[in-house]
Structure 1
Amino acid sequence: MTDQSGTAPSMSALSVSHIFKSYEGGPDILRDFSLNVAPGSFCVVLGASGSGKSTLLKCIAGLTPVNAGDIFLHGAPLARKRLQAVGMVHQDYGLSDRLTTAQNVMSGVAARLSWWRVALQIYPKAIQSKACALLDQVGLTEDHANRQAGQLSGGQKQRVGIARALMSDPGLILADEPVASLDPKSSTETMELLKRAAKERGAAVLCSLHQIDLAKSYADRIIGLNDGQIVFDGPPDALSRDAVQSIFNIASGASVVRREVA
């Protein structure tokens, strides 16, 4: 349930309390937004383009500041030093094409290392071994580890993105439209991998999607977002036609609702 009290429940992996966000004096993208995510849960933020999904995740990740409100990670206020507790999977992969796959994965712990190690790509042996182990876990071979990221397919790049997000052993994984650029087969494989990897580690996932079918297939909980406001909050089997219409502003009886909502 959403906590409107402004406090951070001790059992929440994430607590977002009464946040407001706008850009350069424009209209509020998020307005008095509050949300709690339980440890180990797979929560999908479902909404159309422009609904505020990406802005919400960027605020939580610390990539953009909120105008007002509070964000707590495992009961502690969000701060730069705690960002290693959050893993981020990006829609556009967020990889450096000129670096190898392994180097991209190791960048997931760059914030905790000396700047010169990152600049010279001199990572400790333990980090190198962990990166290789994670690449193996996401289904990429040793050959892929030494290949430049720019040579990989979209599905392979997103596997690298997931491995990088896991490098810091996060308690919370944020996935911003992680399958938006992928074909259906790669989309399914990516969602399966993300859910399995998080479950094995007991990490919570907050994943933004616009695909109704994927949200219903992989989420434990769906948060429907429209114009920066929560218009639905419940389990996948409670996502009714009316709820989808309110999330996507679909006219009553539209074929997309009949096709994608059982």
Structure 2
Amino acid sequence: MLEDLIRYNSEMCRVFGACVEIRNTARKLQKAATEMELLASNGVVRAAKLTAGKGRSFRVLAEYLTEVPVRVQPEIDGLEEICTRLAANTAEGSNVVRLFYLLISGLLELRRSQQDFDPDEEKAARFTRPEEIEALMERITLAASDRHLAENAVQVGHLSEATVQDMRRLLRDSEDAIEESWRKLEAIQTVARTARYLAQCVAIEAARAEAGRQDFETLSSDINTTIDELEATLAMLEDASKKGRSLLRALILEVDTA
């Protein structure tokens, strides 16, 4: 059982590593959003320099593109907040696991010192269920010759139960945060697809244009390059999120069914 807790804490550290990976990758999105903003602004300026009427379609497209970073930024900020939340949860979770380890170790050590102790009592138990902790407290109090010792054991047992609830709460909240990160990623992917479509429109308009063709063909190409980088970053984020979600679900299943 104690070996399981050590492994559990190790898995929490792996979740923390996935959170760091998500955060670091999410910051790359900021760079792509900034580049998109600069390209769109450049497009507006170039369109304004064209002869009246001829640059109108380019200007409209470029102005649409300037909205892309505005739509992406809240999602990027949201990912940063999620990463902060996950990091806090995993750090607190590790502390909770260590506390639980100490509490249960103390109770088991006390129980082992009692004359009627049977080693089979702890073979199948992990003590992450309230009834298992209650049963352990009951055995200790029934066999205890000292009333104060029995009372202390009950207090430690109740604290152990509270730490299990804390573990469940932190894991559930972390799972919710991971799911929220998926929604953020999907929103960014939608914006990226829109930006790529607008880049294609710019390329089509550039092919028809007499003036400024080269400038806007270059603009379209640069936008597509930026979107490629954005989508590659999103793919890395998706992998990191999958890793974190898989670890969390395994831990939740272990705590809930142990």
TM range (shorter): under 0.3
Which gives a bigger RCO, structure 1 or 2 (Cα 8 Å, sep 6+)?
Answer: 2
Q: Which structure has more helix as a fraction of its residues?
A: 2
Which has the higher Rg, Structure 1 or Structure 2?
Answer: 2
